[in-house]
Amino acid sequence: MNATVRVNTNNVDKGFTLIEVLIALAIFSIGIMAVASLQVSARLQSRNSSEITEATSIASNQMEELMLRPFEHNDMDPALNPHLLSIGKYSTQWNVTASDLNGDTINESKTVELKVSWNKFNSTITDPHQVRFLFIKHNQ
């Protein structure tokens, strides 16, 4: 009697082992954590840029207001230094220095150092961030 035994070689186990799934999950998790970290960093940098832009705008507006004031206005008086102004979380300070350009004891111009400072959002650092402008106003 001839008995034929057939072995099915097509019945190979298909799928992933538990170890393969865990390794793939670990690699995927590391990638997701890196992307999340980049998102947090990008958001903080965006907020920092926004604060710098806002402070620069405040400084520019204050500089234009000072340039429009008369030469002898109280805001341009060196004896009243430092001049202070607060707008929200931003603190504006300017110091005026009179200059006698030709030695005739008459001040022909004033140099103004304008500084806008603020504390960074959620910062424990006591050193504030600053935007500084320096400009000269001539007596006309």
Residue (of 103, 104, 102, 94) closest to 134 by Cα position: 94
Which one is predicted more confidently, 16 or 21? 21
42 within domain boundaries: yes
39 within domain boundaries: yes
Q: Which two tokens stand for residue 81?
A: 């230094």
Task: Give the mean model confidence (pLDDT) for residues 121-126.
Answer: 64
Task: Give the mean model confidence (pLDDT) for residues 45-71.
Answer: 90
Beta strands in the chain (DSSP E): 83-87, 90-99, 109-118, 129-138
Q: What integer pLDDT is reported at residue 71 of this predicted model?
A: 86
pTM > 0.85 = no
Which one is predicted more confidently, 120 or 129? 129
101 within domain boundaries: yes
Measured CA distances, 64 to 19, 40, 56, 67, 136 (Å): 68, 36, 12, 5, 12
Which one is predicted more confidently, 59 or 103? 59
- The boundaries of the domain holding residue 134 are 18-138
77 within domain boundaries: yes
What are the tens digits of pLDDT across the range 67-104? 999 988 888 889 988 999 998 889 999 999 988 777 78
8 within domain boundaries: no
Residue 23 has pLDDT above 90, yes or no: yes
Residue 114 φ/ψ, nearest 5 degrees: -110, 130
What letter does residue 103 receive in the DSSP assignment? S
10 within domain boundaries: no
Which one is predicted more confidently, 13 or 75? 75
Provide the number of structural domains found in the chain.
1
31 within domain boundaries: yes
105 within domain boundaries: yes
